[in-house]
Amino acid sequence: MDLILVNLIDGLVTGLLLFMLSAGLTLIFSMMGVLNFAHASFYMLGAYFAFQISLALGFWMGLLIAPLVVGVMGAGVERYGLRRVHQYGHVPELIFTFGLALLIEELVQFIWGKNQMPYEGPDILQFTAFAIAGNSIPAYKIFMIFISVAIFIGLLWVLTRTRVGMIIQAALTYPKTVEALGHNVPLIFMGVFGVGTALAGVAGVIAGPVLGTFPGMAFVLGSIVFVTIVIGGLGSLWGALVASLLIGWITTFSKAYNLRMEDLLTTFGFTKPEPIWDSPWRDLWSITSPQIADILPYVLMVLILIFRPYGLFGKRDA
């Protein structure tokens, strides 16, 4: 029972982190129709910039400055890169962001090398917030939860309660009309891209000390972010949140408990073939949940695509 609570908290942390990445990506996609392959690379840049800044000015300045720098870079990429490629259609845009992802990874390796960076959280958060049956919850994780929840509420407020948010929402569905009404739609696009990448930057800043700051960090997280926005429904902030939490909990729980396929199959009335190592079904019978934890989100995505192609909260067809 105690362990369930602990895993709920762990899954929440993973899920919220994923949310910060997917929130930006889903907004960018619904607005521009571009899958930004370089999104996770901005997450990596956030971690590296914050590491560099933290060496000189400490963690908190890193948390403040790094996302801004990443956001400005993101806006720059939209203004001087994507906007020019846009006229040639979606495929060149896709290739552009893909190339950008490779470029950023090489650049990071060129500047910082291939080793893991000793990026640490602030000393003030280096204590155990509380412990549940011997499982300590580091204060840093609680801090991560607060930051991500604050960002979600902030985003939701901006999108639904402010004038800027209303224009963005309108531009999502009727960009031509919004433009005709005198709004500067390219500027809105640039802003959304900048904010989206800045969010990825924030995620990098706070995930770097926990998940490690190394050149492979974008690659490790890259594909799961796309899965999240497909499950949640493209363009839906709530969808991104729900899907992120779902994935966070699914993977955490299936790793934390050794559920065996053998038990599952026997409850359904199948009998285990003996001897098992000669059976063609050997691999199926010997699967345990930690082994398949990381592919479960993909299974979920396939199911969603079959039964609800527009995602959990999506409004239109993906």
Partner 1 sequence: MRTSITLGLATALTLSVSAFAAAADTIKIAFIDPLSGPFAGTGTNGLHQYEFAADELVNKKGGVLGGDTFEIVAFDNKISPKESLIQLQVAIDQGIRYIAQGNSSGVANALTEAIQKHNRRNPEDRILFLNYSAVDPALTNDKCNFWHFRFDANADIKMDALTDVIAQDDGIKKVYIIGQDYSFGKAVAAAAVRFIGEKRPDIEIVGNELHPIGKVKDFTPYSRKIVASEADAIITGNWGADMLGLGKSVLENGYQGPIFTYYAAADGITAAFGETGEGALRLVAEGQINPPANDRAAAYYEAFKAKYPDGNISQARITNVIEMLARAIDEAGSATDVVKVAYALEGMEHENLWGGTIKMREVDHQLIQDVHIHAHTDDGITFDYDNSGYGIKVENTVSLAAMDSETSCKMRRP
Question: Counting beta carbons within 10 angstroms of the beta carbon of residue 135, is it exposed (0 to 12), middle (13 to 18) or buried (19 or more)?
Answer: middle
Length of the chain: 318
According to DSSP, the residues that pair with 117 across neighbouring strands are: 213
Residue 136 engages partner 1 in binding (rule: CB under 8 A): yes
Return the range that interacts with partner 1 (CB under 8 A); candidates 74-82, 191-199, 253-261, 263-271. Answer: 253-261
CB of 30 to partner 1, least distance (A): 26
Return the range that interacts with partner 1 (CB under 8 A); candidates 77-85, 93-101, 108-116, 162-170. Answer: 108-116
Nearer to partner 1, 80 or 130 (CB): 130
End-to-end Cα, the chain, rounded Å: 39
Residue 58 engages partner 1 in binding (rule: CB under 8 A): no
59 touches 51 (CB < 8 A) = no
Residue 286 engages partner 1 in binding (rule: CB under 8 A): no
According to DSSP, the residues that pair with 135 across neighbouring strands are: 132
- Give residue for tokens 């890169």: 81
Tokens, residue 136: 């300590």
Residue 124 engages partner 1 in binding (rule: CB under 8 A): no
Read out DSSP for 130-190? EEETTEEEEHHHHHHHHHHHHHHHHHHHHHHHSHHHHHHHHHHH-HHHHHHTT--HHHHHH
CA 158/CA 103 separation, integer angstroms: 33
CB of 288 to partner 1, least distance (A): 8
Number of residues that bind partner 1 (CB under 8 A): 42
CB of 120 to partner 1, least distance (A): 8
CB of 52 to partner 1, least distance (A): 15
Residue 219 engages partner 1 in binding (rule: CB under 8 A): yes
CB of 6 to partner 1, least distance (A): 6
- Give residue for tokens 């942390």: 13
CA 302/CA 231 separation, integer angstroms: 9
CB of 134 to partner 1, least distance (A): 6
Using CB under 8 A, pick the residue from 149, 156, 256, 300 that binds partner 1. 256
What are the C-alpha distances in Å from 290 to residues 11, 209, 252, 287, 317? 14, 24, 9, 9, 33
Using CB under 8 A, pick the residue from 33, 99, 113, 273 that binds partner 1. 113
Lay out the site mask for partner 1 across 181-210 (x = CB under 8 A, - = otherwise). Answer: -----------------------------x
Using CB under 8 A, pick the residue from 290, 300, 308, 312 that binds partner 1. 290
Nearer to partner 1, 14 or 97 (CB): 14
Contacts by 61-69 with C-beta closer than 8 Å and gap 24+? 62/205, 63/202, 63/205, 63/206, 66/201, 66/204, 66/205, 67/198, 67/199, 67/201, 67/202, 67/205, 68/198, 69/201
Lay out the site mask for partner 1 across 137-176 (x = CB under 8 A, - = otherwise). Answer: -x--------------------------------------
Positions in the binding site for partner 1 (CB under 8 A): 3, 6-7, 10, 13-14, 109, 113-118, 120, 128, 131, 133-136, 138, 210-212, 214-216, 219-221, 224, 251-253, 255-256, 258, 288, 290-291, 293-294
